[in-house]
Amino acid sequence: MRVFQRTIAGIKFGILSPEQIREMSVAKIVTPDTYDEDGYPIEGGLMDPKLGVVDPGLRCKTCGARAGECPGHFGRIELARPVIHVGYAKHIARILKIICRECSRIKLPQEKIDEFRKRIKNARKIGKDEEVIIDELYNQAKQVKVCPHCGAEQGEIKFEKPTTYLENGRKLTPSDVRERLEKITDEDAEALGFDVEVARPEYMVLTVLPVPPVTVRPSIILESGERSEDDLTHKLVDIIRINQRLQENIEAGAPQIIIEDLWELLQYHVTTYFNNEVAGIPPARHRSGRPLKTLAQRLKGKEGRFRGNLSGKRVNFSARTVISPDPNISINEVGVPIEVARELTVPVRVTPYNIDYLRKLVKNGAHKYPGANYVERPDGSKIRLDKAKSVEKALKELDVGYIVHRHLQDGDIVLFNRQPSLHRMSIMAHEVRVMPGKTFRLNLCVCPPYNADFDGDEMNLHAIQGEEARAEARMLMRVQDQILSPRFGGPIIGGIHDHISGAYLFTKKETKFRREEALQLLYIAKMYDEIKKLLKEKSEDGYYTGKQIFSLILPEDLNLRYKAKVCKKCETCLEEDCPYDAFVVIKNGKLIKGVMDEKSFGAFAGELLDRIVKDYGTDKAREFLDKITRLVIAFISKRGFTTGIDDEDLPEEAKQRINEILTKAEEEVQNVIEMYEQGLLEPLPGRTLEETLEMRIMQILSEARDKSGQIANEYLEKIEERGKLNGARIMAISGARGSLLNLTQMAACVGQQSVRGERIKRGYSGRTLPHFKKGDIGAKAKGFVKSSYKSGLSPTEFFFHAMGGREGLVDTAVRTSQSGYMQRRLINALQDLKVEYDNTVRDARYVIVAFKHGEDGADPARTDWGKTVNVKKVIEKVISKRG
């Protein structure tokens, strides 16, 4: 079999000439009525059967094809009088201003016209914008008062939106306009930027209106059996009606005024038919008062044809449901509910090798799980396997060359996506794990790239239909291949929340396990090989340390040193001898010193993870993440981990000290205010006195908040040292969730509330709330919240806090829309750039944008945090081989 493939090489744009419109038209539309009493379409009406079919079962009167196959055919309306095409109204105005009213030549000497023509031709050849040249011509010619060709005196042309032209105050009819445009020579038209092959100036004034086929404007039948026509049909009815009346009046020899009125009405209808949002005229409305959606509205905007149907399309073979976590599946997998697996299918071609297997699936049919929904014959017709009878038939028929659309099964590769799809890691390929339940399940480590949580988030899943796509998904899009972000060349997939706090507790010095405990843990985590390894290790009085067990998942020849997140940034780092166990040392795959926390394997920051992906490959990295999730989650589930309001309990002494600090700060603020009032305050250079005062106050208060936080942290630490573990603090210092600032706000002091980066100042005249004296600019009166979240806020504090909080919400809302639009623009501007085989970066015009990507030709996703080669690491590695 020979396959002939035709591809579109290019698309040329032009304006339809009246002759072309007539030629492509299959029916002349004359009556405004659509259907007769029996419900049959009237010939010569807008639903003329020659225009194509939409009702199933009928055949097209023009091409004989059935609905769905017949693309539809154009008809036409012969306009009684010409009308202006709104889209070109402005263009026509420009032309009228620069051509002679008598001879229609451009009002410039012949040589100049020739020169402009040449320049335009040249500009087109090199792909430059010719608009600038035409503008120049326009500016030169519009001033000319006497035609250099025929010597006629020129009038002043005024354009009144949307479609009226005045010459010396007298209205030009579209017929007059058309006449002038017709007389423009081809050469002159070229100088005006026309491609006369496809667009003569007079085509911009319509004499015949093409009527789009019914397939473009299908009517819908309401439940009541009533037909409801498309907006375009409504508009065309209006046009025909007025056109008919105009024709009749002309033939009857009606007075000029009546004809002109009707003509103008026709112009209005044709105008709104093209664009119902033209400035200067009221939009045509539906009976209900809703403005009609006409041609321009169909194409325009986000839901328009271009952005809504051509750049982005709806798809089949997709599913959407709520997501929930499952630490027991691999990062590469996705848990798919059985209901979904039964609905989504994968096409499999029947071969002698798989026919038995596929027969089993077909036998199960559409309803029993590992089954199939359709059997497709080589000719493309399908048998749906939802009934016992059809299953039987399909079984009998099934043969090599057929295609079985079988249910989604374990191991199938699918695409998984969460909106907003801000980067390429928002769509990744996962392997299917069919499981009970009604949600998609995913490993927690892949939350960061999707930016997903489980408070009701939903995600989409797409079943891949072709081998080519499947291969690409598996080779390029799998989760494990996306661990390194192309944004900065570090890991974007990694541990979050409980992984981090769990690993922190697990690898702390004190954490020890009895042999049974350790083995149980490894067994729960399904780390069977590691069990053997552990048994070979020495235990300390029958105890294994957390570090020892953790080392089991590290590659055996790994050597690494770095500072952990818990590092207190002492002045001189003691490195290995860090008293807080904050310096991580891994020697030959053994965790010797240091705790595991966010800096180890957290998303965005994990150094250990970073090292594993880069040096050992993505397979090892996936394994590492899978194991660490299972191990650490098993551990923390067994051990238990919680946080509560008592995590912020402070002893009386601490509370007193905090109160002292805050009171002192308030006093200090008062002092500064007094200084200001006495005129003793020195303004900062370039600032007014008031600004200086505000800055001083803000500084004092923020220092006070920080200090109170430090005190709180000090005491919390002390309590922890006495053996009582503090969940909130552990989360904050290990980087699992929250920060020390959050702790400060809960335990010590919430601090200054701000709106627009300033202390709160709006409200009543001279004060923020009626609770304060007028002119009071002290700490309390301007939104300083002295209380902590735990102790509770006073009514005024609460109100200020709500003000600050509201600003935050508004800010986020505004930001998402702004950054979304910026990203759309960036993508649109850069999307055509690609790397060529010669390593240059070029755009769609084939213009070189960069000789080497990023000046060194590197792919950021393959760099080490932006470095093409980490020379230090290479040398370290070579030297370490010396032994």
Nearest approach, Cβ of residue 207 and other proteins (Å): 17
Residue with tokens 């009171």: 663
Q: How far is the C-alpha of 688 from the C-alpha of 701, rounded, in Å?
A: 20
- Between 369 and 865, name the residue whose CB sits nearer to other proteins: 865
- Between 335 and 783, name the residue whose CB sits nearer to other proteins: 783
Two tokens, residue 485: 């972000």
Q: How many CB atoms lie within 10 A of CB 56?
A: 8
Nearest approach, Cβ of residue 691 and other proteins (Å): 9
What 3-state class would DSSP assign to 79?
strand
- Between 420 and 766, name the residue whose CB sits nearer to other proteins: 420
Nearest approach, Cβ of residue 409 and other proteins (Å): 26
Q: Which residues lie below 8 Å from residue 454, measured CB to CB, with a gap of 6+?
A: 323, 324, 325
- Between 127 and 380, name the residue whose CB sits nearer to other proteins: 127
DSSP string, 525-571: TT-HHHHHHHHHS--BTTEEEHHHHHHTTS-TT--EEEE-TT----S
- Between 7 and 642, name the residue whose CB sits nearer to other proteins: 7
Nearest approach, Cβ of residue 404 and other proteins (Å): 27
Nearest approach, Cβ of residue 880 and other proteins (Å): 11
8-state DSSP, 642: -
Inter-helix orientation angle 131-141/89-98, to 10°: 50
Nearest approach, Cβ of residue 651 and other proteins (Å): 35
Question: Residue 236, by phi and psi: left (phi above 0), alpha (psi -120 to 50) or beta?
Answer: alpha
- Between 143 and 828, name the residue whose CB sits nearer to other proteins: 828
Helices (H), 407-497: 447-450, 467-472
Kind of pairing between the strands at 318-325 and 458-463: antiparallel
Burial of residue 300 (number of CB atoms within 10 Å: 0-12, 13-18, 19+): middle
- Between 257 and 827, name the residue whose CB sits nearer to other proteins: 827
- Between 15 and 584, name the residue whose CB sits nearer to other proteins: 15
- Between 171 and 815, name the residue whose CB sits nearer to other proteins: 815
Nearest approach, Cβ of residue 204 and other proteins (Å): 8
Nearest approach, Cβ of residue 222 and other proteins (Å): 31
Note if the bond before 579 is cis, omega within 30 degrees. no
Nearest approach, Cβ of residue 270 and other proteins (Å): 15
CB 294 within 8 A of CB 275: yes
Angle at 749 between CA 748 and CA 755, to 5 degrees: 160
Q: Which of 531, 504, 541 is nearest to 725 (CA)?
A: 504
Nearest approach, Cβ of residue 273 and other proteins (Å): 14
Nearest approach, Cβ of residue 22 and other proteins (Å): 19
Q: How far is the C-alpha of 378 from the C-alpha of 375, rounded, in Å?
A: 10
Note if the bond before 162 is cis, omega within 30 degrees. yes
Nearest approach, Cβ of residue 124 and other proteins (Å): 8
- Between 55 and 691, name the residue whose CB sits nearer to other proteins: 691
Q: Which residues lie below 8 Å from residue 670, measured CB to CB, with a gap of 6+?
A: 778
Nearest approach, Cβ of residue 423 and other proteins (Å): 4
Angle at 233 between CA 228 and CA 236, to 5 degrees: 150
Q: How far is the C-alpha of 403 from the C-alpha of 397, rounded, in Å?
A: 12
Q: Which residues lie below 8 Å from residue 856, measured CB to CB, with a gap of 6+?
A: 868
- Between 15 and 716, name the residue whose CB sits nearer to other proteins: 15
Question: Residue 193, by phi and psi: left (phi above 0), alpha (psi -120 to 50) or beta?
Answer: left
Q: Which of 755, 661, 652 is nearest to 710 (CA)?
A: 661
What 3-state class would DSSP assign to 294?
coil
Nearest approach, Cβ of residue 877 and other proteins (Å): 7
Burial of residue 307 (number of CB atoms within 10 Å: 0-12, 13-18, 19+): middle
- Between 344 and 427, name the residue whose CB sits nearer to other proteins: 427
Burial of residue 321 (number of CB atoms within 10 Å: 0-12, 13-18, 19+): middle
- Between 168 and 839, name the residue whose CB sits nearer to other proteins: 839
Q: How far is the C-alpha of 615 from the C-alpha of 609, rounded, in Å?
A: 10
CB 634 within 8 A of CB 525: yes
Residue type, 67: A
- Between 150 and 826, name the residue whose CB sits nearer to other proteins: 826
Nearest approach, Cβ of residue 837 and other proteins (Å): 5
- Between 66 and 300, name the residue whose CB sits nearer to other proteins: 300
**C-alpha dihedral sign at 76, 82, 87, 88:** positive
Nearest approach, Cβ of residue 550 and other proteins (Å): 28
Q: How far is the C-alpha of 298 from the C-alpha of 308, rounded, in Å?
A: 10
- Between 241 and 853, name the residue whose CB sits nearer to other proteins: 853
